[in-house]
Amino acid sequence: MNIALIAHDRKKEMLTNFCVAYKNVFENHKLYATGTTGKVVSEATGLKTNRFLSGPLGGDQQIGALIAEDKMDLVLFFRDPLLAQPHEPDITALLRLCDVHNIPVATNIATAEVLITGLKEGLIDWRKLSKK
Ligand SMILES: O=C(CO)COP(=O)(O)O
């Protein structure tokens, strides 16, 4: 499965800890990330991440393009709901595309826990069947 990892600055530590905790799951999948998130996660966990541009410079849009092409299977986007982002339209567009293409997406750690458990249990395997 192709998994996108994205976190706003004040959520990066949380996502990193999440990736450490579930390293055994993530290492069986292909990871993509926005620039800074990928750097931080890879350095802390040793997991390989395919990194795009930093979010404010277009990274969210690059991940959005993969979603539009039906190439992303799961998105974990730890958003900061208490801080305005300069690239808010890009964030909205990415989440909209998840809804357009029915891609499982978590925007906080509580939902991410549920999705990662579902991933382990094979509950997202339908994605393999739905590939165009
Ligand atoms: O801004 C982001 C998502 O909207 C994340 O970008 P970085 O991973 O480059 O910090």
Short-list 64, 129, 76, CA closest to 101: 64
- Give the confidence band of 44 by pLDDT, cuts at 50, 70, 90: very high
Distance 121 CA to ligand 1 centre (A): 29
Residue 16 and residue 42: Cα distance in Å, rounded? 9
Mean pLDDT throughout 40-67?
98
Q: Are strands 49-51 and 105-106 parallel, antiparallel or unpaired?
A: unpaired
pLDDT at 132 over 90: no
Q: What is the pLDDT at residue 11?
A: 98
Q: Above 0.90 for ipTM, yes or no? A: yes
Q: What is the pLDDT at residue 111?
A: 98
Q: What is the pLDDT at residue 129?
A: 85
Mean pLDDT throughout 58-68?
98
pLDDT at 125 over 80: yes
Q: For the CA atoms of the chain, what is the radius of gyration?
A: 13
Contact, 32 vs 72, CB < 8 A? yes
Q: What is the pLDDT at residue 130?
A: 74
**55 annotated as ligand-binding:** yes
Domains recognised in the chain with CATH numbers: 2-130 (3.40.50.1380)
Q: What's the predicted TM-score (pTM) here?
A: 0.97
Residue 123 and residue 39: Cα distance in Å, rounded? 29
**What is the best residue among 19, 54, 57, 76 to mutate for testing ligand 1's pocket, by most ligand atoms within 8 Å of CB?**
54
Query: Two tokens at 27?
Result: 């290492």
**What is the best residue among 37, 39, 78, 98 to mutate for testing ligand 1's pocket, by most ligand atoms within 8 Å of CB?**
37
pLDDT at 104 over 80: yes
Mean pLDDT throughout 56-85?
97
